[in-house]
Structure formats: structure tokens, C-alpha cells
Amino acid sequence: MSIQYFEKENIFLLNTPKTSYIIGIFDEEQFLGHLYYGKRITNIEGIHSLARTMEPPFVPSKNDRDRSSFFDAFPFEYSSHGVGDFRESSLKMRTKDGHTATSLVYVSHVILRGKRKLEGLPATFGQEDEVETLEIICVDPVTNVRAILSYSVFSDCDAIARSVRVVNDSNQPLYMERVMSACFDLEGRDFDVLTLHGSWARERHMERKPLGHGIFGVASLRGESSHQEHPFIGLLSKNADQTSGEVYGFHFVYSGNFLAQAQRNQFGQVRVLMGIHPEEFCWKLEPGESFQAPEVISVYSDQGLGGMTRTLHDLYREHLIRSPWLHKKRPILINNWEATYFDFTSEKIVDIAKESARLGIEMLVLDDGWFGNRFDDNRALGDWQVNEEKITGGMGKLSDEIHAQGMKFGLWFEPEMISPESKLFKEHPDWAIQVPDRRPCRARNQLVLDISRKEVRDHILSQVFAVLHAAKIEYVKWDMNRPLSDLGSAALSSDRQGELMHRYVLGMYEMQERLLQEFPELLLENCSGGGGRFDPGMLYFSPQIWCSDDTDAIERLSIQEGTALLYPLSCMGAHVSVCPNHTVGRSTPFATRGMVALAGTFGYELDITKLSEEDKTAVQWQTRTYHAFNDLVREGKYYRVQSYAENHDHDCFMVTNAKADKALVFFTQVLATPNMRSRCIRLQGLKEEANYRIQIVNLDKEEQFTDTGKVVSGGILMNAGMIVERPWGDFQARLYYLEEI
């Protein structure tokens, strides 16, 4: 059994293959306390001592005069508000009288096979023989609020999925002003904290710093998980690196406003909280109603960051992504955006398709500008009818012409947005999110549709479905190009305006679910101005997400490193674009751009008709390489070897197959250094006793491989290293293929 309850000891033991999570029930009032999270334990004798309830201030039944001291130090499994615990709280409910004190105590529990769905929310899943769930029911005896704390453990990976459902069992409305999805009270250690930060075009850069006393957190109030922060926080032992040391990772399966924070208190204890950001949030719960909070994934690794990474990759591939494309090779696509922007006709698109097909590209994606009066980004969002001035004869005709080239066809949408200059806005100005009598804040000259309203969702989807039914379209890119502001819904009462942000996210999830139900074989790629909504919640709907609008190969090294820390490579939308790069103006070799993009879903973002003959030939070599190795990239185990973000010189990572008899090593030299010898790079994930032939995969030659003539043992490659010759010039890439002989 993965979950056990020891009735005599009042202990819950949750085991994954290599980790344990232990919860206890204490004192006459049945306080729920966290005891342990870490390497797997089989004998729990003496575990109670970790709660320190046998030392001052003891428990309230023995020392009620110092109840506040107990509350301010006890390791609560789900922390209380306003009753003496002055650390950050998990739940805050306001009564009609304005009181907000809440204290939850244990009442009962149930252990079940499998895992319940979370209503309206993305979440991990598994069969009854793959996952087991503990539900602990807690109640606040004064307000009659009931909280069901849910814990799911998986038989095949060292992850725990947590969520909370809050029920109003009172006879009056209650206002929930704060609901965290998970609370972790950990024993105090000298942790570092790891987060991912960024901005548009430089998303998910890793940042590590010491966790001092006080509160450190990351958050988003933008209505999306955002470019700027990421719904992840990690606690690392000081010695933790990619291969060793202790790591706790916490990841939020949600695509809207979030708060993730770590608090080190006066005693050195560390509390981690993760959930919907309480700012701009207030949810009215009528008697008998419930609220389901999103899911948090936690991972413990004693094998460094690499152990955490591979656990998350396995979990998301097997228990979160549902797409029929999950284990399939994705078609190599070309997107016309950087080729044409808004200036195109169907004839130009067909020309791109013809040349692309000749060079081995398999799908053309028509980006922004095909609908309504959309000749620039100032108009027409919300008017999802084909503009036949550009698309002569309609989308069906264009689709047929592209398929006639042997290619698939994809289409870009931005369903959540509305332009003030559009037919839709003229007919339904109240469908835009805005505050009455206040000048709305525009971004890209567009407003946001209030998709918390069913009639808005129905109208937009009816247009999208009509376009998709009228043509053969195998792929949709779903974009969202601005954050939310001016929060006001014409459909919500004054005491429910605080529900808008979360209802918006639920509406977006429902729209994507309906899209996939209508077109179950569709390949959906999510996007938000690039990587502004790259989070686990979106993976539940789309197996890949556009990683960043910045396609520069060197910028992508850090972006893709931070992304791959948490997500499988198969999730990362990555394309080859022209140089000078449209975002940073940098010029890099075509082969380097190809190798960096091969680490993701792979495609092109350029006008292929304008490439030199040399580059067109290289496209054929790159597509050949994709087909040869994508199975390994998509399904393989990921190992981070070197970080350009840390060494400012070169970048290296690798993937191995399940048997570790094949591996790809991706190496990029950023800047050349004069008068230096070759580099020695220690690899990972190989078999110690096996011998490997080392070949270079050619992205700029007709011959697929260059045999280095080297056969080296796995033990040498991992413990001593692989010699990597220094290429001549900046921004040079090498792709090595290792195969056991």
C-alpha cells in the first residue's frame, strides 16, 4: 500500500517509490501536523517527537495559557488564520459579521484507489493501480467550514499531488478571501530558494539565492502565470547541484494569478505556501456550496535538481498530458508570422507551402491576419470570419491547396481578446472586461473578453468551430497577447467581482476542453505572447506550448534550460528563424539555430522562399535529423550537463533512452576563446561498464554522421569526461550521438 493510517499512533504514512510524507494528529483538539517529507522511511517509530509537543509550550490541553506560542510554532499541515499562528495562513474566510478567524481540526479521512477529477480544473490523473489518494476532512467548529485536504501518490514516480476543497456547511454566506492549495511546514535548514523569472522574450531564467528570515515569494497578478514569474518554487540544500543534494520542488497546476512563497520564521522553520493569489480574489460561498482549489505538485529528490527534473518529466508525460499527440512525432511546421506578418495573400502562403514541402517540412501554420478587417494589430479581434480579400476563395480552398502539396495545415486564433475596432465590440461593448466610467487600459490596442460569461464563450467558440469545420485543419495555435487589468464584469454582482479572475481561468479551461471534444485529433499548441502562459495547467490541454517569441538560438539556451528544469522537451515549441534575429538582431550559424530548435518540437519561423540555396539544403539535413532522433528527444531522460547561464561560456545537456544504450549530447559554444585546449565534459545517465561509439551528427553536411573514431566507456564519460574540441568561431554547436557497441 502507498498510503497507510496507523490508528494507534494517529499517523498517516504516504510512500512513493523513493520518498515518504508523514502527517500526525495531535492533542485532544485533533490538530493536524506535518512531521516529515524526504527520503523513504519504512519504520515510523518515534516520529511523533519531530512535532516537539513534549517540550514548551507543549499542547493546549497541557498549557492553554500559552496557546498562542503553540500556534506560532506547531508544524501545521494546513495553517490557520487569526488565532495565534502569525505565519502566513492557508485559509481566510470572512463571515457576515466581518470576522476572519479560522482554525481547522481533523475530523475523519478516507483512503481510495485512483484519483478524483477536480471539477473545472486541470489535474494529474491515473488508473486505480497507478495512484492512491488520501482525503483528510477538517472542520472549523465555529464557522462550520469544512476543508477536504487531498493527497495523491503515484506508483511510478516520486511526486505527490495536493489540492483542497472548501465547503460551507453553515447556514449563512461566507466570503473566502484566501485559499492556498497546499501548505508545507518543513524543518528548518539552511536552504537556498530557486525560482524562474523573466520578461517577454526572456522567460524562465533560473535564479538561486539564500533563503533568509522573513518571506520570499514569486507571484502573478496578470491573470496568467506570466512571462515575469513562474508558478514554481524550489528549496535546495546548500550543496545541491544537478546530480546530488536535497531538493524540494513545488509546482502549481494553474494558469492564472498565483502566489508561491517560502517563509523562514523566528525558529528557523520554513513554511511553503502555494495557491491562487489572494489579491483580487474573494469568493462568495453560499450555504452548501463548495470551492475547489487547483492542484500543487511536490517532489523531493536527494539526487539534486536532475532527480527532481526527471520526476516531473515522467509525471507530466504519464499523468498530466492527455493529447493523442503525446507519444507521437509532431509534424515539422513552418509558421508564416516572421515571414509576412500581416502582409500576405493566399498565393504567398501557397508559395511558402510549395517550397517547404520540397525541403521536407510537413505542416504550414497560418498566423495572425487571416480574419475580419485584420490588416494590423489595431482591429478585428473577435471577428473570426475569413477575410477573402487575403484568402481568395475561403479557408477551405487554401487548405486544399496546402494539402495538395502533401502538407498539413494549421491556424492561429486569439479567442480571449476583443478589439475596440471590431464588429463584436460595436454589438457587445459590455462583453469586454472593464470598470464602468474608467478609461480602459489597452495593450496592443486590445481589450480582454469576459469569458467568465457563458454567452461570450459560446459566441466565440461558435465562430472558431465554423472556421475549423469549413476546412481541413489539423493544428491550432491558441494565443493570448495581453494581461488582464481594469477588473470588472457586467455579469457579476458587487459582492462577486472578486471572483472574476478565477472565473476567467475556468472559462478559458472550459473553452479549450470543448475545442478538444469537438476536434479530438487536433494538435493544440498554447501560446501567450510567447511563453506568458507556460504552466502545467495548459499542458493538460495542449501537449506543447510556444516557449518564447524570442527564437534567437543563444537567448534560447537559457530560456530552454529553465523550461526543461520542469517540463519535458516535447512540450517546448522551438523554431529556426532568420538572421539577423528579429528580436535581438544577432546572427548565428544556420546549423546552430537548427540544433537548438531540435531540442523542442522543431519547426521554422521564416520566409523559406527567400533562403539561400545553401540554407535550403541545410533545411533538408535538419529535417532528416529530426526524423532520425525525435523519438529519443521526445521520450528520453533529460540530463543538464553544463549551463551557459552559469559559466557564460558554453551550454550542454543530453538525453538518453530508457536502456541508456543511446544518447544525444547537445553542445553549444557561445564565445570562442583564443589559445585554449579542448573542453572535458562529464556526461550523465550512461551505463558504467558499457562502451559507446561517439559520432557527430551533421546539420551542415550531406553525410549524416562524422565518426570521431572514439569508443569510450560509460564510466570514463561520466566520471572523467568526454573531450569536446573547441570549434572555430562564436555561436558554434555540436550534436553528438552515442551508441553502445
SS3 339: helix
Strand 131-140 relative to strand 691-697, pairing? unpaired
Q: Grid coordinates in use for 627?
A: 526524423
Per-residue DSSP letter, 486: S
| pLDDT for position 188 | 86
Q: What are phi and psi of 456, to 5 degrees?
A: -70, -45
Question: What is d(CA 341, CA 624) in angstroms, rounded to the nearest whole number?
Answer: 28
Q: b/e map of 683-709 (b: 16 or more CB within 10 Å)?
A: bbbbbeebebbbbbbbbbeeeeeeeee
| pLDDT for position 630 | 97
Active site residue 479: yes
Q: Where are the domains of the chain?
A: 3-319, 333-546
Active site residue 730: no
Q: What are phi and psi of 516, to 5 degrees?
A: -75, -30
Task: Quickly list DSSP for 189-231.
Answer: ---EEEEEE--TTS--EEEEEE--SEEEEEEE-SSSS-SSB-S
Question: What is d(CA 279, CA 498) in angstroms, rounded to the nearest whole number?
Answer: 9
Q: b/e map of 447-458 (b: 16 or more CB within 10 Å)?
A: bbbbbbbeebbe
Whole-angstrom Cα Rg for the chain: 27
CA-closest candidate to residue 82, choices 4, 162, 164, 142: 142
Question: What is d(CA 571, CA 560) in angstroms, rounded to the nearest whole number?
Answer: 11
| pLDDT for position 519 | 98
Contacts (Cβ under 8 Å, ≥6 apart) of 703: none
Residues in the chain where the model's pLDDT stays below 70: 1
Active-site choice (158, 185, 383, 479): 479
Question: Helix crossing, 613-635 with 590-598: angle to 10°?
Answer: 20
Q: How many residues does the chain have?
A: 741
Residue 112's alpha-carbon distances to 3, 109, 414, 672, in angstroms, are 9, 10, 41, 58
Active-site choice (140, 185, 368, 549): 549
How many other C-beta atoms can be found within 10 angstroms of the C-beta atom of residue 121? 19
Per-residue DSSP letter, 238: T
Q: Grid coordinates in use for 265?
A: 520564521
Q: Grid coordinates in use for 661?
A: 544504450
CA dihedral 302, 303, 308, 314 (to 10 degrees): -120
pLDDT (tens digit per residue) in 673-702: 999 999 999 999 999 999 999 999 999 888
Task: Quickly list DSSP for 245-271.
Answer: B-EEEEEEE-SS-EEEEEEE-TTS-EE
Fold of 333-546: TIM Barrel (3.20.20)
Question: What is d(CA 219, CA 501) in angstroms, rounded to the nearest whole number?
Answer: 14
How many other C-beta atoms can be found within 10 angstroms of the C-beta atom of residue 307? 23
CA dihedral 549, 552, 554, 556 (to 10 degrees): 30
- Give the class (CATH, top level) of 3-319: mainly beta
Question: What is d(CA 493, CA 406) in angstroms, rounded to the nearest whole number?
Answer: 53
CA-closest candidate to residue 605, choices 347, 361, 330: 361
Question: What is d(CA 344, CA 477) in angstroms, rounded to the nearest whole number?
Answer: 18
Q: Are 603 and 333 in contact (CB under 8 A)?
A: yes
pTM: 0.97
Q: Report the side by side order of strands in the sheet with 19-26.
A: 3-6, 11-15, 19-26, 31-39
SS3 395: helix
SS3 111: strand
